[in-house]
């Protein structure tokens, strides 16, 4: 495997990481017998908590959203409206970036392409983001109810004299964003590591267009950088390297110099119309839409999930022990398995760092399966700390559903 990491801050800037992880697309239907389609992989499956106060917490990204959007309005009105919004006791609401907004898309649903249990259907056709098109300030990045993203004129919405319904859904962070000195790294010569998403990318993708089935097969069979577990990225993964501040191609050219101003396949099929697959158009700013799978109009790039050690996650006995906490999400109890005998403290912290539960337990038998009750905990997103003699021996983000 690769051990050489070439770390150069070619961008000369810092990066604000607002999402913990990149959610899966939610696509579960299969549309081909060829291995490698979207539904063959489920990475960071979406899981939402309805907080019962008009907000929804995305446990994958660590973002809190309005359950029901604010309705149709112009872009300028949206900017003012979120700045004045006071919801569920919070006043730090904002417009989402396009990557945050696109993270909500459920590619196994349509009109709206959202989790239709977590989010109310308000009849919106588009949702504003905070990002303005790089080459045209009269256009703003939006997501749409069909599951795509694109830059649209501000004047298309009804309130600005148009005919479409552009709505506003506010977002806030439930914990502090991370500031990274760099986002991308070269791994030797053939691979680019993205520290935002934990994904590794093919640095020099195929130099010719290809149809969708062949793109799947190539990605599943390629050996690159000593790794064999490459795949064709789903639409959220390929869109994650879209740089909304760049044009033609709309990527970070310092690290993806071999990506063309062209269309690139994803492994995601159009919902209930399996003859089409989603792609991203790096020529057209990073628009996502779909096209017939048998066309050779698109190029292909491979992706894989990076190991923790490459992402700077510190390995310790806490991270790499046989101690496990499951299930996650949890209903009314979690199991602590593989812990040594002794007295422990269990601390549950909520999303803003408040202690919601603090208990002492005794594990009297080595490697026992200890049942720990969370039945009196309000459903939500928590950090569980397991301490022995005042030292943290295990950290685990858990979701409590109460069911």
Residues in the chain, how many? 403
When the candidates are 3.10.100.10, 3.40.640.10, 3.50.30.30, 3.40.720.10, the CATH number that belongs to 181-309 is: 3.10.100.10
Q: What is the pLDDT of residue 115?
A: 95
Fold annotation for 314-400: Immunoglobulin-like (2.60.40)
What string of pLDDT tens digits covers the 403 residues of the chain?
333 334 444 555 678 899 999 999 999 999 999 999 999 998 888 888 888 899 999 988 999 999 999 999 999 999 999 999 999 999 999 999 999 999 999 999 999 999 999 999 999 999 999 999 998 999 999 999 999 999 999 999 999 999 999 999 999 998 888 888 889 999 878 999 999 999 999 999 999 999 999 999 999 999 999 999 999 999 999 999 999 889 999 999 999 999 999 999 999 999 999 999 999 999 998 999 999 999 998 999 999 999 876 766 543 333 444 678 888 888 889 999 888 899 999 999 886 667 889 999 999 988 788 999 998 888 888 888 898 888 878 888 888 887 7
Q: What is the pLDDT of residue 10?
A: 53
Helices (H), 286-401: 317-320
| Sign of torsion over alpha carbons 379, 28, 242, 179 | positive
Q: What is the pLDDT of residue 195?
A: 94
d(CA 244, CA 252): 10
Q: Which of 307, 324, 323 is nearest to 315 (CA)?
A: 307
Q: What is the pLDDT of residue 7?
A: 42
Residue ranges covered by each domain of the chain: 38-173, 181-309, 314-400
Secondary structure class of 112 (helix, strand, coil): coil
Assigned token pair, 201: 């990318």
């Amino acid at each position: 495997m690769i051990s050489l990491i070439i770390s150069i801050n070619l961008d000369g800037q810092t990066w604000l990481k607002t999402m913990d992880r990149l959610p899966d697309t939610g696509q579960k239907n299969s549309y081909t017998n060829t291995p490698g389609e979207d539904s063959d992989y489920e990475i960071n499956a979406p899981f939402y908590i309805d907080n019962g106060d008009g907000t929804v917490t995305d446990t994958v990204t660590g973002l809190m959203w309005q359950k029901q959007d604010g309705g149709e309005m112009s872009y300028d009105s949206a900017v003012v409206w979120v700045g004045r919004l006071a919801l569920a006791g919070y006043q730090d609401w904002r417009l989402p970036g396009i990557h945050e907004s696109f993270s909500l898309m459920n590619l196994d649903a349509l009109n709206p392409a959202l989790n239709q249990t977590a989010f109310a259907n308000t009849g919106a056709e588009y949702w504003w983001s905070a990002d303005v098109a790089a080459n045209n300030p009269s256009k703003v990045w939006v997501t749409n109810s069909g599951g795509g993203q694109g830059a649209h004129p501000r004047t298309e919405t009804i309130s600005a004299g148009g005919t479409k319904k552009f709505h506003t859904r506010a977002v806030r962070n439930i914990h502090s964003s991370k500031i990274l000195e760099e986002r991308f790294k070269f791994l030797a010569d053939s691979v680019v590591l993205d520290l935002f998403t934990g994904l590794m990318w093919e640095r020099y993708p195929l130099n010719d267009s290809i149809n969708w089935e062949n793109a799947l097969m190539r990605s599943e069979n390629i050996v690159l950088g000593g790794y064999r577990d490459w795949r064709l990225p789903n639409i959220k993964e390929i869109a994650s390297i879209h740089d909304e501040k760049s044009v033609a191609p709309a990527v970070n050219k310092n690290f993806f110099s071999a990506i063309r101003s062209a269309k690139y396949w994803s492994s995601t099929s159009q919902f209930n119309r399996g003859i089409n697959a989603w792609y991203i158009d790096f020529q057209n700013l990073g628009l996502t839409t779909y096209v017939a799978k048998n066309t050779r109009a698109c190029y292909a790039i491979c992706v894989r999930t990076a190991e923790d050690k490459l992402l700077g996650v510190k390995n310790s006995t806490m991270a790499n022990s046989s101690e496990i906490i499951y299930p996650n999400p949890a209903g009314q109890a979690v199991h602590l398995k593989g812990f040594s005998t002794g007295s422990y403290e269990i601390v549950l912290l909520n999303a803003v760092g408040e202690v919601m539960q603090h208990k002492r337990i005794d594990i009297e038998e080595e490697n026992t399966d200890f049942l720990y009750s969370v039945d009196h905990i309000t459903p939500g997103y928590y950090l569980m700390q397991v301490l022995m003699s005042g030292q943290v021996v295990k950290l685990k983000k858990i979701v409590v559903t109460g069911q």
